[in-house]
Amino acid sequence: GVWGAGRVRDRCRQNQSCGLAGHPVLIIMAEAEGVVTHQSGASRLMESVFCAVCGAPLLLLGASFLLGMNEKHAVCESRAIASGEEVVKEVGCDQVGSDTLVLFSCDIKKDGLTFGPDWTGYSMSLANFLPADMSYQGTGLQVSVEMLQCVETAHSTTTKDKSGGGGETTVTTYTYSKEWVSHAVDSYTFSNTSSQSFINACGAQNPGWPAGTPTSETLYAPKVKVGAFTLEGQMVSEIPLDAPVALKNFPGWSSAGAGTWMNDDHAVKPTTFGGASIGTLRVRLSGTDWTKPKLTVLGHEEKGVIRTWKAPSSWLCSGFHLSHTYRGQMSKEDLFDAMQNASDTMLWVMRVLGLGLMWCGFGLIAKPLGVVADCIPLCGPCLGDAVDSITCALSCLPATACCFLVAGVVWVVMRPMVGGPMLLISVAIFGVLAFQKAQRKAGGGGGGGDELA
């Protein structure tokens, strides 16, 4: 573990040494503002071998599963969007009874939208917290409760032992700042409350979360009328809640701007700085923007109620749904283009994530090589850095090939014309790697650098 600065200094003065002889991991305190952790070469090597043998296969399997499911989801979602665009029916604000996928742009009606016990997420604790005479109408109410608290941030810097041996030294420093946080932060677990950073930035411990004060919550009306149609459940939660809610009064709280109130009854009063004190509470209420009541809604209409639309099942695709709520007016073409663009963006985000995981997996397999190089006396750190750079670059090739392989297999099964080229790219990369290996063997192995590669 990591000891507090004062305790470590006292222990070091008594024993004249902060080292732990015979242990692969040493923890000492260099100065009051930072913690120094040393890990020996033997410990690093054992750790890297464990990661290569156990961690890397799990990471590669997980990345393969993630990539495969991502490609399948993208194909199925694209099919659902295309199917929806073919069958959707654009209707007027009072044209109910279509019993199909409909698209309309109408104004939200205020009828039945008064805040009350029938709202989703309503609780007596929240009702007792809000003003008793509160009268609010909207599709939902977002209650954000935050406390100004002291927050700890750790910054670590790791350097290799210059003399070789494979060891690493990590210096961890802790800085402190005041931030608005929506949950209680226990400052008594901080690592260095005696530091100048804590004294200057905070100056006091965080108080506990006040009894009777709720955490941040979002509540929704059970039903919302849009034109002659009724939205329920998930459709209601998609309506934006970004307009400040005005209240006539909020007993015990002072106004701090539109929709914002503050209370310092539980605040600590440090003398080291000015401004808002630790423990000050802030509440922000936001709801429906009635200056922009028009919504564009896509969903399955049945007897005037709008729900998500289930796309027809196809090869390896079933259970995909479509629904969308957009503030303002949007044409059919623009709406479906936006949905497809969002799907494509998520597809590429997950592809990049999958490639990164694959790359890390192959990097873990080669990690012990860099640690072994670090253990060489004198030139170890420089050689280890070179080995790490080479293995990192080389790991990109099999990672890319595996990504194309997984994606290609999925697309060949679902869309052969797209998946075929992906498989060809994967085979080409593996072929290049195999050809280079065969050339090195035919040439007698080459130099040490070639053997390492």
Question: What is the pLDDT at residue 275?
Answer: 64
Give the chain's mean pLDDT: 86
Report which of residues 446 and 308 the model is more confident about. Answer: 308
For residues 299 and 21, the model is more confident at 299
DSSP assignment string, 208-268: PPPTT----EEEE-SEEEETTEEEETHHHHTS---EEPP-S--TT-EE-STTEEEE-TT--
Q: Rounded distance, CA 237 to CA 239, Å?
A: 6
Residue 319 clears pLDDT 50, i.e. is over it: yes
Residue 175 is predicted with a pLDDT of: 94
**Are β-strands 309-310 and 140-160 bridged in parallel, bridged antiparallel, or unpaired?**
unpaired
Chain segment 365-423, per-residue pLDDT in tens: 999 999 999 988 878 888 899 999 999 999 998 999 899 889 888 888 887 766 667 67
Long-range contacts of 336-339 (CB under 8 A, 24+ apart): 336/81, 336/84, 336/85, 339/81
254 and 262 Cβ atoms separated by less than 8 Å: yes
In this predicted structure, what is the pLDDT of residue 418?
65
pLDDT confidence bin for 447, thresholds 50/70/90: very low
Bridge partners (DSSP) listed for residue 26: 38
| pLDDT, tens digit (0-9, with 9 covering 90-100), for 337-372 | 999 999 999 999 999 999 999 999 999 999 999 999
Instruction: From 219, 209, 152, select the one nearest 183 (Cα to Cα).
Output: 209
- 446 pLDDT band, cuts 50/70/90, is very low
List the Cα angle 64/70/74 in 5-degree steps: 150
pLDDT tens digit sequence for 40-67: 999 999 999 999 999 999 999 999 999 9
Q: Which amino acid is at 225?
A: K
The helix or strand, by DSSP H or E, that contains position 203, with its residue range, turns out to be: none
> Residues 260-305: pLDDT tens digits?
999 999 898 754 445 678 999 999 999 999 999 999 999 999 999 9
The candidate with the shortest Cα–Cα distance to 282, out of 258, 256, 268, 262, is: 262
DSSP letters for 315-354 = TTB-S-EE-EEEES---HHHHHHHHHHHHHHHHHHHHHHH
* Residues 393, 381: Cα–Cα separation, whole Å: 18
Residues 153-191: tens digit of each pLDDT: 999 999 998 877 889 999 999 999 999 999 999 999 999
Q: What percent of the chain has pLDDT over 90?
A: 62
Q: How far apart are CA 250 and CA 257, in angstroms?
A: 13
| pLDDT tens-digit map of 108-158 | 999 999 999 999 988 888 888 999 888 899 999 999 999 999 999 999 999
Closest CA to 309 of 72, 99, 94: 99
Quote the pTM value: 0.79
pLDDT band for position 31 (50/70/90)? very low
Residues across the chain: 453
Query: What backbone phi and psi angles, to 5 degrees, belong to 115?
Result: -60, 130
pLDDT for 71? 93
**Residue 436 — pLDDT band, cuts 50, 70, 90?**
confident
Please report the pLDDT score of residue 77 as a whole number: 95
Q: What is the pLDDT of residue 419?
A: 64
- Retrieve residue 16's tokens: 């004249």
Sorting pLDDT into bands at 50, 70 and 90, what band is 9?
A: very low
pLDDT of 453 reads 43
Token digits of residue 204: 């006091």
